[in-house]
Every structure is written in structure tokens, then in C-alpha cells.
Amino acid sequence: MSLLSIVALGLVTSCSSDDDNTPITDDDGGQVIDNVLSGVMTEDRELTNDIIWRIEGRYVVPDGITLTIQEGTILQGGPGQGANASVLIVARGGTILAEGTASQPIIFTAAGDNIQIGQTAGTNLDENDRGLWGGVIVLGRAPSSFEGDAPEWQIEGIPANDPNGRYGGTIPNDNSGILRYVSIRHGGTLIGEGNEINGLTLGGVGNGTVIDHIEVVANVDDGIEWFGGTVNSSNLVVWSCGDDAFDLDQAYSGTISNILGVQGDNSDHAFEIDGPEGSFEDSFIIENATLVGNLDATNGEYADYRDGAMGATNNVYAIGFKTDSDVELDNNGVAQNFLDGKLTFSNWEVTLPNGVANANDIFVEKTAGNENPIILNPTFTERAASWSTAVPAGQNTVGADLSVFGWTLTMQRANLGF
């Protein structure tokens, strides 16, 4: 943090979203800028890249308000758990315009990060420093599938009594703004038992929103999670998150393209995909993905398709996973969708772990524990031979275009192993 930012924090005794950079005079007659972001914004605001901004508690962009963030801006989330967690929330009807560039990305990180103005990374935190603040949540009015066909839902990670945590609606092209060249690091603080904030949470976000060139590093929970909605998302990187890299729920129905998931020691699935929770159904597309496993990960799976998941996963390259890692059909509902053609796979190339003979061996059905289990014949494993191929390391013909990720901390510091 810059000296200016430290002085500002020392002098600010209260703050709100409508301070609008009002100068505060110090005892020596000089001026410092209030750089603390907290509470609910009451008017449009632009955050400039000449200071480091600090998020304290919930900072909310409400309906009808626009938050603009200049390229190269650094925002640091303060420590705190539960209701005091530091998180940026773009509520339904709010707009965020956060357009970084490859040379000047917008960076959300923890208050303890020693990154300085004009830098793209500090030196004192790494991919194992997780849970130091909350994360970024964007909510919209796009269709989503909720239990009991409820018209809206409360996003995970935000207390139930906060109305700014509601999402869902009937507007497929709902527009929450732009997130482009944004890196989100070291988040995922605990809200409640088993309830952490994802690096980037997208709840009911519509396809009028731009989600492009996003990186999440070292989050406690998932890297990026889509709860319903229709937003298309492209050029995404997730590295060393404590749960899943990419998580889909509640009948998310957009296209996710050109993505890189790199597992850390605590990572679970690269993909965790659930289907609708109510009667409304829709399907996703994932295409052009590179998945890099971790032999030291406690779990470290390729993918788990569950609870009626429906959609297509195409053009995937996977490398570096453990011998017992798998792509699984988890229950009867998803197995039936696979049989009915509602869940499909194509063009998977796998650099095989030691002890795995064929690429299709990683695809397994795990319905045996279900009541009246669906048993595929031919099996899921046998059918996977039609879409999976073993390839030597780095000789893949499918997967993500990694050349577009040079701006990310992941490509600068992670060892991808090929």
C-alpha cells in the first residue's frame, strides 16, 4: 500500500459511498483522499488509478447506480468474516464498468498485499494465501431455476437479511455492465459454516453483461460460479482455489469459452456442474478449456456432473491429474440427461496419468448408490471412447488459446507443466 493510502486510512474515521473523493485536511494543512469504500452508493462514482482503494465491509452498487473503475486501479479488501466480510456487490439494476487492459488490469486483492500503484503484483503473497477478504459479486435479473419455482433467490455469501443479495428474474439480456481484464486474488473469507464467498460470483446475470479476460487466484471457495443467468463469459483463468475452478448451478444457460483452470494443493474439481432446481430448464456450453491438475491435491478431480446437469462440454485438454481423478456422472438425474442427449461431450484430449491406460477410463458413472440406479449399457466409460483421446504432454489440438493469458499472474508464476 502506498504511503498516501496508509495516511488516508489513519485519518478517515467514517466513510460512505457518496464521499466522492472529498479532500480531508490534515493537521499540517495538506490534503489526503478518502479511499475507503463502504456501504451503499447513493450516486454514480468513478474510482481512479492514482490511489489504492480499500473495501471495508459490504460495498454495494444498487439499482440505478453506476460504478466506473479506471484501468490499472488497485482495490484491496479489508479483513473480516461473517457480516463484516469485505465484498463488492453489484446488485440487480446496478452497473459496473470495470475495463482494464492487458498492460493495466484492474486488481482486487487483500489489504495485506504489498502491491504498489502502477504494479500488477506484490511480492509477499502467493497462491496459497487464501481467505484474506471476500470477493466480487454481480447480480442480475436473468432467468434462473430455483427451488419451488421461486421468482428470485438470495446469493450465497451474503446474509439473508440483506436485500441487495437477491437475484433472478425474466430478462435474458439484462445488463450489469462490463468486467474486462480484471484479476481477483486471495479472497473467499468465511461468512458462515461451509459458506464462503467465491472469487467472482455471477447470480442471474444477463447476456447484456460483458465478462471477458477475468482471473481468480487463491480463493478459499470456487474461482468463478454462475448461479443461473445467461451471461456469456470468455478468456477466464482460475488458479489454486480451495474448491472448484468453475461451478455452474440453477440452469445457467450461457457460453463459457477459452478458459484455463490450474489446480492448487487444496483444489477439488475443475468443473462442478449442477442443473435446474425448479421446473425451468436450460443448458450451458463450455468450449475450449485447458485443465491442469495437481498431484498433491487432496481431491483434484476433473469434473463432477450432478443434479440434472444439462449442456455441452467441448474441446477440452486435461493434463497433470492424479491416477484416481475422474469425470463423473454423479446421480440418476444427470445419467438420464446423458442418455436423453441433454448432456453431451466432444473432443476431449487427455495427457494420461501413470496407471491410466486409456483416455476414456477417466469417465465413470457413480449412480450405484442411488435408489433404483440407472446403469448405462454400454457404460459411460465405454461411450467416452468416442469423444476422448490420449495425447502426449503439450501435443494437444484442443483446449484454450493460452497466448491471450500472458497478462495474468497465473501465467507469470504458475508452472503449468507443459
Q: Is 222 contained in some domain?
A: no
Cα→Cα distances 86→38, 56, 123, 157, 347, Å: 9, 5, 22, 11, 41
Could you please report the per-residue DSSP string of 276-315? -SSS----EEEEEEEEE--TT-SS-EEEEE-TT--EEEEE
Are 169 and 290 part of one and the same domain?
A: no
pLDDT at 194: 59
Q: Is 3 contained in some domain?
A: yes
Are 19 and 164 part of one and the same domain?
A: yes
Calpha distance 93→362 (Å, rounded): 43
How many domains is the chain partitioned into structurally?
A: 2
Domain residues for 14? 1-175+186-200
pLDDT tens for each residue of the chain, 418 residues long:
333 333 333 333 333 333 333 333 333 333 345 899 999 999 999 999 999 999 999 999 999 999 999 999 999 999 988 778 899 999 999 999 999 999 999 999 999 999 999 999 999 999 999 999 999 999 999 999 999 999 999 998 888 889 999 999 999 999 999 999 999 999 999 776 557 799 999 999 999 999 999 999 999 999 999 999 999 999 999 999 999 999 999 999 999 999 999 999 999 999 999 999 999 999 999 999 999 999 999 899 999 999 999 999 999 999 999 999 999 999 999 999 999 999 999 999 999 999 999 999 999 999 988 889 999 999 999 999 999 999 999 999 999 999 999 999 999 999 897 8
Q: pTM for this structure?
A: 0.92
DSSP lists the bridge partners of residue 200 as 136, 224
**Number of residues that this document lists for the chain:** 418
pLDDT at 295: 94
Q: Is 225 contained in some domain?
A: no
Calpha distance 36→16 (Å, rounded): 8
Are 190 and 277 part of one and the same domain?
A: no
Q: Is 397 contained in some domain?
A: yes
pLDDT at 146: 98
Closest by Cα among 214, 209, 225, 205 to 260: 214
Q: Is 215 contained in some domain?
A: no
| Structural contact between residues 185 and 409, judged by C-beta atoms closer than 8 angstroms | yes
Q: Is 213 contained in some domain?
A: no
pLDDT at 2: 37
